[in-house]
Amino acid sequence: MVRVLDERGELDPASPPAPPDSELRYFYLWMLTVRTIDGRMMHLQRQGRIAFYGPITGQEATVVGSVAALGPQDWVFPALREYPAALMRGMPLSHLVHQCYGTALDVVRGRQMPCHYSSPAAHYVAMSSCIGTQVPHAVGAAMAARIRGEDTVAMAYMGDGATSEPDVHAALNFAGVYRAPVVLFCQNNGWAITVPVERQTAASRLVERAEAYGMPGVRVDGNDVLAVHRVTLQAVERARSGGGPTFIEAVTYRMLGHTTSDDPSRYRDPAEVEAWRGRDPLLRMRRFLEARGLWGDEEEAALLARVQAALNAAIEAAEAAPRPPLESLFDDVYAEPTPELERQLAEARGAGSREGAHG
């Protein structure tokens, strides 16, 4: 398994030189930002102010390190916990908060579940709760870019559970045969909701599947942001140069539930959680930065204050924003509304009027 920083945050002496200091700080800044957003959004859901949330806590290094390897022209096809990719690529924080509240200012006007973000400007495709469907979409987009002669790579994220889905098999097989310019990034956090990875496959490592599809596979310490960035950068460069796909298995751990609808204490041993808590990717990276004089308590406090202030402003705006109008439910279905759609819209307006009349 590829590793650059050990669990104490010390650099492997056999490793190539670390990235520039500014890049090291950038990685940690985003991991801490995401951890802070996660905590606040979890509280909002527990308070009943948003309906649902899927936390990334514990897996920040996998997304931050991998998406930093992409160019602005590349596309991201997320699973559930990849929203840092959208933020890092330019999606405003207010966009994220409005989406979780489903306000009229939400880009998709409340038509998606909370956490199902999308951002065309950030080249971040809307996720689906149907497991694994984004992987063939990513392979198709990569092939389309190649046919058009574009210098574009697609990044397909998936969890360990998705590797048991037929869609993922079809996508990996197609990508391998046609050498699609795609990176297939699997976040193996050990659990597909309640199903442990050893119940998913008889293989000892998910990365072993790559050979069967005719592509290289890399297994990386997913809690080591520098290692994740290094192997993903190599995979992106390979795809962009015509070398074809790479399958990456990032071994990590989700510290919280699968979503706010899940109680992990019912199926996970607390000792397992505590063991992984000691491998926290933020703790590892902060130790490394402090040893190099690149981070300290003042920087940490200043960043946390900025993120909390931005969150406060975004939440205040979302809670003051109106809900999407009822009529928007029928928008964007057809270029020109059909008679049937017009009839349904009239019925909905009538029902809304009656509901309003009765309070």
Q: Known catalytic residues?
A: 254, 258, 267
Element (H, E) at 233: helix 225-240
For the stretch 6-30, what's the b/e string if a residue is b when 16 or more beta carbons lie within 10 angstroms of its beta carbon?
A: eeebeeeeeeeeebeeeebbebbbb
Strand partners, 124: 76, 119
Closest CA to 109 of 99, 122, 124, 94: 99
Whether 152 contacts 142, CB under 8 Å: yes
Q: Tally Cβ neighbours within 10 Å of residue 83.
A: 26
Its sign, for the CA torsion 6, 12, 15, 20, is positive
CA distance 340 to 157: 38
Provide the 10 A C-beta neighbour count for residue 256: 19
